[in-house]
Amino acid sequence: MSQTVIQNHAYLIRRNGIFYFSRRVPADVRSRFNKDRVLVSLHTRSLPKAQRSAAALSDRLERYWDSIRLEVFHTRELGLSLVQEVEADRSSVSVSIQNALDSYLRLKGAGRSKTFFQGAERAVGYLTEATDAEELPSLSAADAARFRDHLMGKGMTAASVRRVFGTVKAITNLAIKEYGLAWPNVFANVFIPDDERASTRLPIPDENLCAIQKECVELNDDVRWLVALISDTGMRLDEAAGLLVSDIKLNADVPHIALHKHPWRSLKTRGSERDIPLVGMSLWAARRVVENQQDFAFPRHTNDSGCNANSASAAINKWLKPRVPDGCVVHSFRHSLRDRLRRVECPSDIADAIGGWATAGVGQKYGSGYGLEVKARWMERTAVRALRQEDVLRIKASEKYRNEQQV
């Protein structure tokens, strides 16, 4: 394995192109540890990101080592120490990871959606998969670090790892309080390096978008209706997948989607609740949904128990992969719409209103916002004309033939 020390950059080395943090444990606290050097992968090939991560990790280690030095001072110089009987009594409490999960779901799960339960169970499943542990107090800081590495080894982004860790930390914190554990939450201060994948969500080029929209019409099924709907509205996948048929207003002066919260699907921000004009292929998709569905617009992914946007994402991304450049995923439709709005010089506050993006500035909080007519005019300019007139006529003839055959 090739290894390079990075000159003028403290605590950084590079192995096979990947940066690592490497720092000796100070001599005065070394007896507390099982090794004399901290060595951890930063999971990046970018020097600026590695520098930021190394600086943050070094600062965290300094604070940790200072806390050990303070503990030694209290013990040796001031004669203070923990009452061993109380510590032993508390540490003898045995709490299984499963019991901690059950308590969390029972106490925190009231009124929560099915995805809340699924997320907690999935996070604990990852934990036991990574550590083979059964008892919560048996877990160490090394186990927490191994858990992080296990998640990153699955190809998760840093954001996904932080989300899983957030759930496990919440479960652990509740168990510590409920069972009176004299045990630190070992998941609380685990370093999770940034990665480079968050910035690789690229917009889908117009030529690919045209081909995808055309194929959606030709295949004409509920998965392709969902793809077409988000392609010309810029909706988040969970926003679209969680719609009711009644949220689609085709008979309004401006056909649109009235997007709001549902018990089975929340919205990301307050600004996410909005009216979205239907233009281009999104109008075609909305008509197909209204003609073919009853209550839920996409019952394959949504019911009274919850909206499973993850399953929709997996299915759509698998279908998209050979049809889009590397780095493009289902969320790229949203990036694409924003770029298309920029190209037609749509004012940023109108673009924010269309996509439900957070707006900057105090002034944006005043007034009732832009009407559907204004948003529709700008969205009409962005719609990519995926089908020529002869394509439309051919597809209509094909649909008519299928309907006659079914009769």
Question: Tokens standing for 40?
Answer: 């951890």
83-198: CATH superfamily: Tyrosine recombinase, N-terminal domain (1.10.150.130)
User: What digits encode the pLDDT tens for the residues 51-76?
Assistant: 888 888 888 888 888 888 887 776 66
Cα 223 to Cα 179, 232, 266, 381, distances in angstroms: 47, 15, 21, 26
d(CA 181, CA 315): 43
Average pLDDT (355-367) is 59
Per-residue pLDDT at 359? 61
Cα 24 to Cα 10, 95, 146, 153, 336, distances in angstroms: 11, 35, 20, 26, 47
User: What digits encode the pLDDT tens for the residues 82-138?
Assistant: 554 444 444 456 788 999 999 999 999 888 878 888 889 999 999 988 888 888 888
DSSP state of 272: G
Per-residue pLDDT at 34? 81
Nearest-Å Rg of the Cα atoms of the chain is 27
Per-residue pLDDT at 83? 52
User: What digits encode the pLDDT tens for the residues 139-183?
Assistant: 888 889 989 988 888 878 888 899 999 999 999 999 998 888 888
User: What digits encode the pLDDT tens for the residues 6-35?
Assistant: 666 778 888 888 888 899 989 888 888 888
Average pLDDT (309-327) is 90
d(CA 353, CA 376): 11
Contact (CB, 8 A) for 354 and 375: yes
d(CA 170, CA 109): 12
Question: Tokens standing for 20?
Answer: 């690592």
Residue 306, H or E segment? strand 306-307
pTM of the prediction? 0.55
Nearest CA-CA partner of 272 in 356, 351, 365: 356
d(CA 196, CA 45): 8
SS3 state of residue 296: strand
Nearest CA-CA partner of 355 in 257, 276, 267, 263: 276
d(CA 72, CA 81): 10
d(CA 159, CA 175): 25
Contact (CB, 8 A) for 14 and 3: yes
- Residue 407 scores a pLDDT above 70: no
Per-residue pLDDT at 86? 43
Question: Tokens standing for 73?
Answer: 């001072």
Per-residue pLDDT at 90? 43
Q: What is the mean pLDDT of the chain?
A: 83
- Under CATH, what is the fold of the domain 201-406? hpI Integrase; Chain A (1.10.443)
d(CA 79, CA 69): 14
